[in-house]
Structure 1
Amino acid sequence: MDRMAGSFGSGERARKITDEPQLIERPEHPAIIELAAYLERLRGDREMPDRADIQPSEIARLLPNMIIAEAVNGGADFRIRLFGTALVTLLGEERTGKLLSEFAEESSAFSSENPESVQRRWLFVTQRAFFGRKPVFLKVPFAASGRLYMVGHCLSAPLTAGGSEPAQTIGAMFASRVD
């Protein structure tokens, strides 16, 4: 196992933690580190960056792995405005335009999950960033047949939309293989 996946273990532990993303203090994946630094630079002396500050051309290589979600009903749910093509391929579902509460199972990544557990996990992470008003970093194990085979490195961060309150979140996931 590589050092990034080592904290998850294997076998039963890998299956169990699939429903329990591991929150981490700071990002470990180079692309997540890059995106976090970009958002921090945009934030400046404000509490959160504003959606209008983001220049897609400055982060073009990260876009296939990114997600932007808009709060619905004060953050009770979120509508996906951008769901990158790499995420579609990885998770097996186009989610642009969907609410988090409409997500289906992640059949290509998690063999035993149902839609409710997928929705619960995505909502937990998104709400934690939105209501916490700061970025959240995590690692998510991908396991099949009791074997850990990939680790998703993730970021979710709040964005304002012309004001001082969070209105959206921006995030990304990059998967690395476990050797």
Structure 2
Amino acid sequence: MVAKSDARPLGSTIDYDVVEVEEPVHPKCRRLLDYWRARMQPDGTVLRTDFNPLDLPQLMGGMFVVEPVDGGADLRYRLVGAETERRLGRKFTGELFSYSYTPEMAADQIALHNRVMETRKPTCLRGHFIGIDLEHVSYEAIYLPVRTGNGGMQVIGGLYDLAEGASK
């Protein structure tokens, strides 16, 4: 179980206060999870080529794709949706986790993503960001493992404002 409290932002970097939950409640996270489950292969994996973000245009703004760097010692955002980058106030696409977050949050997120890729099981976090004037906004994020064409793993996910999901 990932749980983080008393987080302290360092400088202008981003931190968070989150808990891991069994199932998503946000309709967009549930939609991503359903889409992922519908593409499950007999071996229990989902192929990256079977996961087409263009099938989910209403979710794309909050979606992200993450790939391991240096054998999983760090991670890189291969792609981050424009809505997420706008809300968080900076570009994440192409950035390393170690550059994007406080050391504590980076370590937590690297461990979480590596666990998702190793177990090939999705997970979901709920909480809020600290250090970017969004402490009042509650988010939910879903993390879904996918296998690449060369046998490697990536994580595709989505980050959505829980208040926006309440009316959907």
Range into which the TM-score falls when normalised by the shorter chain: 0.7 to 0.9
* Other structure's SS at 1:171 match: strand
* Other structure's SS at 2:20 match: strand
Per-residue deviation, residues 1-30 of structure 1 (Å, max 9, x unmatched)? xxxxxxxxxxxxx96377442111111111
Mapped to 2, the partners of 1:174 and 1:26 lie a distance apart of 14
Report 1:1-179 matches (<5 A): 16=6, 19-104=16-101, 115-142=102-129, 149-162=136-149, 165-177=151-163
Tell me which amino acid in the other structure corresponds to 1:16: D
Tell me which amino acid in the other structure corresponds to 2:39: L
Mapped to 1, the partners of 2:70 and 2:110 lie a distance apart of 13
- Contact kept, 8 Å, 1:67 with 1:172, in 2: the verdict is yes
Q: Percent identity?
A: 25
The 3 A distance-change label for structure 1 pair 74 and 34 is same
- Contact kept, 8 Å, 1:130 with 1:166, in 2: the verdict is no
| Rg larger in structure | 1
Tell me which amino acid in the other structure corresponds to 2:138: V
Mapped to 2, the partners of 1:166 and 1:43 lie a distance apart of 16
- Pairwise CA distance, 1:126: 1.6
* Other structure's SS at 1:79 match: strand
Per-residue deviation, residues 110-134 of structure 1 (Å, max 9, x unmatched)? xxxxx32332333233223112221
- Pairwise CA distance, 1:54: 1.5
Give the TM-score normalised by the residue count of structure 1.
0.74
Mapped to 2, the partners of 1:131 and 1:21 lie a distance apart of 21
Tell me which amino acid in the other structure corresponds to 2:139: G
CA RMSD of aligned residues (A): 2.6
Mapped to 2, the partners of 1:122 and 1:87 lie a distance apart of 17
Gaps of 5+ in 2: 8-14
- Contact kept, 8 Å, 1:19 with 1:117, in 2: the verdict is no
Mapped to 1, the partners of 2:99 and 2:32 lie a distance apart of 27
- Contact kept, 8 Å, 1:153 with 1:173, in 2: the verdict is yes
Mapped to 1, the partners of 2:123 and 2:5 lie a distance apart of 23
Runs of 4+ in 1 over 4 A off after TM superposition: 17-20
